[in-house]
């Protein structure tokens, strides 16, 4: 199992993905509760790999995670929010007036940090598959 983390100043996106690319858990949590939540998720899902976006506070988070996880990979976050919005709209089809506007002109009604975490894991897996 792999966990993706989209780090942020106030909130972080989390996503746990299994070997079959199923999203087993996703959430947006407060940044100050990240380490405690990761310890719980590590036990619940037998997490082996952490994929951490290289954005806000990623260096601090990586330092704090070294005592909890052995495998921590930093992944480029460039344009991940745009990808996450597209992913959000695929999972949450637009209804009503939202169907009339292109998704590129719309902002999802909730934070997409958890979807960014999914994107980061997919980027990591893609990078690893190219190495093999």
Helix (H) or strand (E) holding 115: helix 113-131
Whole-structure pTM over 0.85, yes or no? yes
For 4, the 3-state DSSP assignment is strand
Dihedrals φ, ψ of 72, to 5°?
-125, 125
Q: What is the pLDDT along the chain (132 residues), one digit of tens a residue?
A: 999 999 999 999 999 999 999 999 999 999 999 999 999 999 999 998 999 999 888 999 999 998 889 999 999 999 999 999 999 999 999 888 888 888 878 889 999 999 999 999 999 999 988 876
């Amino acid at each position: 199992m792999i966990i993706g983390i989209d780090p942020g100043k106030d909130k972080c996106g989390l996503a746990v993905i299994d070997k079959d690319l199923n999203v087993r858990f996703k959430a947006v949590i407060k940044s100050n509760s990240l380490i405690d939540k990761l310890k719980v998720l590590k036990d619940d899902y037998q997490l082996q790999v952490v994929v951490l976006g290289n954005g806000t506070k990623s260096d601090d988070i990586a330092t704090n995670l070294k005592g909890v996880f052995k495998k921590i990979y930093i992944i480029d976050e460039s344009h991940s929010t745009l990808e996450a919005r597209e992913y959000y709209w695929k999972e949450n089809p637009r209804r009503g007036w939202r169907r009339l506007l292109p998704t590129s002109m719309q902002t999802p009604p909730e934070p997409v940090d958890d979807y960014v975490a999914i994107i980061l894991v997919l980027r990591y897996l893609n990078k690893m598959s190219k190495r093999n």
